[in-house]
Each structure stands twice: as structure tokens, then as C-alpha cells.
């Protein structure tokens, strides 16, 4: 739970909640996603395409860690969230 709080996941959930519960946040998120898709259409070098590659690779190989990485990148870029710090994640248990 400490890692969850330290990496800013709670703040991400708050931003995501705000983006899905009010019109301005929803429009902003949709515009961000459309911009990423449009600007990266030719070379596929925007965060949307990087996230899509991770998600599709993870889905094919059932790699939960890569799936989480791809979904985290996708969601954070759509709602324009940046964690205030980075954290070294180590397995527990």
C-alpha cells in the first residue's frame, strides 16, 4: 500500500474520477486521446500507440505486468497525469 501511495496512484484515481464525472474533464480527455491518435497516425510514435503495443502484446502473452504498464500509460496520458515521484517497485510475498 505504501508503494501505491508513494507513486501517486491515489492522485491518478482522483484525476480519473474528475475526468469521468464532469463534462469539461471528459471533453478534455477525449480531445487528448484524439490528438494522440491523429498526430501519431503515420509513425505511431505517440503514447497511445506505445500503450496499445504494450496492451496487445500483453494480451497475447498473458503478461499481467506489461498489461498494467500499457494501461497505466494509456490512462495517465489520456487524463494528463504525471506522478510527482518515481518509485522502485519490488515484489512482495
Domain count, the chain: 1
83 found inside a domain: no
C-alpha cell at 26: 471528459
32 found inside a domain: yes
Residue numbers of the domain that contains 68: 2-78
Cell numbers 512482495: residue: 92
40 found inside a domain: yes
63 found inside a domain: yes
93 found inside a domain: no
90 found inside a domain: no
pTM above 0.85, yes or no: no
Q: Count Cα atoms within 13 angstroms, Cβ side, for 12.
A: 19
89 found inside a domain: no
pLDDT tens digits, one per residue of 16-53: 777 677 787 778 778 888 888 898 888 888 888 888 99
The answer to whether 25 touches 48, Cβ cutoff 8 Å, is no
For residue 72, the model assigns a pLDDT of 83
Cell numbers 498473458: residue: 62
92 found inside a domain: no
Question: Considering only CA atoms, which of 12, 18, 56, 49 is closest in space to residue 33?
Answer: 49
C-alpha cell at 39: 498526430
Amino acid at each position: 500500500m505504501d508503494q501505491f501511495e508513494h507513486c501517486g496512484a491515489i492522485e491518478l484515481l482522483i484525476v480519473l474520477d474528475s475526468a469521468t464525472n464532469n463534462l469539461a474533464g471528459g471533453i478534455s480527455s477525449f480531445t487528448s486521446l484524439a490528438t494522440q491518435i491523429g498526430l501519431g497516425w503515420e509513425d505511431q510514435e505517440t503514447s497511445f500507440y506505445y500503450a496499445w503495443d504494450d496492451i496487445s502484446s500483453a494480451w497475447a502473452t498473458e503478461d499481467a505486468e506489461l498489461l498494467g504498464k500499457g494501461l497505466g500509460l494509456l490512462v495517465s496520458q489520456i487524463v494528463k497525469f504525471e506522478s510527482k515521484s518515481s518509485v522502485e517497485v519490488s515484489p512482495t510475498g
